[in-house]
Amino acid sequence: MTQNPDVPLRGAPDLSQFAQAAPVAAPAAAPGSAALPAVVDVTEANLNELAQQSTQVPVVIVFLSSASPASRELVETVRTVAAGYDGRFVVGRCDIDTQGGIAQALQINAVPTAVALIAGRPAPLFQGSAEQAQIKEILDQVLEVAGQHGVTGRVDASAPAAEPEPEPLPPLHQEAYDAIEREDYDAAIAAYDQALRENPKDHDAKAGRAQVALMSRTREADLAAVRKAAADAPGDLEAQMAVADLDVMGGQVEDAFARLIDAVRASAGDDREKVRLRLVELFDVVGPTDPRVGEARRSLSAALF
């Protein structure tokens, strides 16, 4: 874990414009309640509301990626620790794969990353995984800073808002999801491949397949060894693609795209096509609406033509 020792708000990007409207009321929690708080999915649509709510109670957001199991686990760890504070925190999660605009605005360059919203402004907390004791220490600091800014409210942690039941997945998607849960990535890929054969325009299956393939390629990778191999052999395309995979997993999307675009420029024939296909697959992982994908597509076109 990389902790930010300077939790106060100076130097953080200003989100105070989101908090100009009347703040969201925060009902008091029952004393001694330790119910797990609901986790809010942070999107561009509700960021305004959360920034307003942070004028009453700190909002702790974990930035994650669907391709990073560690980032998903951190959400649950933060949620568990926050349960001990009787509603003095709102816990949110923001998927950088679908909310690239928020990640870019808050300068999130790796996952998992935790950020607090206090009085409408973000305060970076830490990057990487963390133990419960470490997170508690940081949340204590957040409460201290929040108190200095008059943010002392609570939400009702004992009665979190009911979340709507998710729509059932299509059968092949459910089959893939079940395979991912048991870490049978080959079976998940096969299920997505079948879904794409039945419907080549199934964009969710295409994105899911790309994410699972990435997880499969990186599951046993040694980051230091992979980076050293790429540095020692700049012309080794497999080594460059392996580093790009790990960069995307770690949220360093621009670095991954730039590396593979350079490899496209430096290669030809079948080698160039192999790198191009890997890059396009990583575009599917990050998501077509992410502005970094649009920029990289233009750079790829220039490199090819």
Share above pLDDT 70 across residues of the chain, in percent, rounded to a whole number: 85
pLDDT-based confidence at 164, cuts 50/70/90?
A: low
Among the residue ranges 47-56, 163-172, 183-192, 261-270, the one predicted with the least confidence is: 163-172
Domains in the chain with CATH codes:
2-148 (3.40.30.10), 171-304 (1.25.40)
- The overall average pLDDT reported for the chain is 84
CA dihedral sign, ordered 43, 96, 106, 92: positive
- CB burial class (10 A; 0-12, 13-18, 19+) of residue 159? middle
DSSP lists the bridge partners of residue 59 as 90, 117
All residues at 6 or more sequence positions from 45 whose CB lies less than 8 Å from its CB, including other chains: none
Residue-level pLDDT at 110: 83
Mind listing the pLDDT tens digit for each residue in 184-231?
999 999 999 999 999 999 988 999 999 999 999 998 889 899 999 999
Residue-level pLDDT at 274: 96
Residue-level pLDDT at 223: 86
Which helix (H) or strand (E) element contains residue 58?
Answer: none
| Best CA proximity match to 130, nearest among 84, 76, 178, 196 | 76
Residue-level pLDDT at 206: 92
Mind listing the pLDDT tens digit for each residue in 82-95?
999 989 999 999 99
Residue-level pLDDT at 166: 63
Residue-level pLDDT at 25: 33
Residue-level pLDDT at 217: 94
**Mean pLDDT of the 171-178 span:** 93
All residues at 6 or more sequence positions from 228 whose CB lies less than 8 Å from its CB, including other chains: none
CA distance 38 to 153: 17
Most confident segment among 21-30, 38-47, 261-270 = 261-270
Torsion angle in degrees (nearest 10) through CA of 132, 136, 137, 140: 170
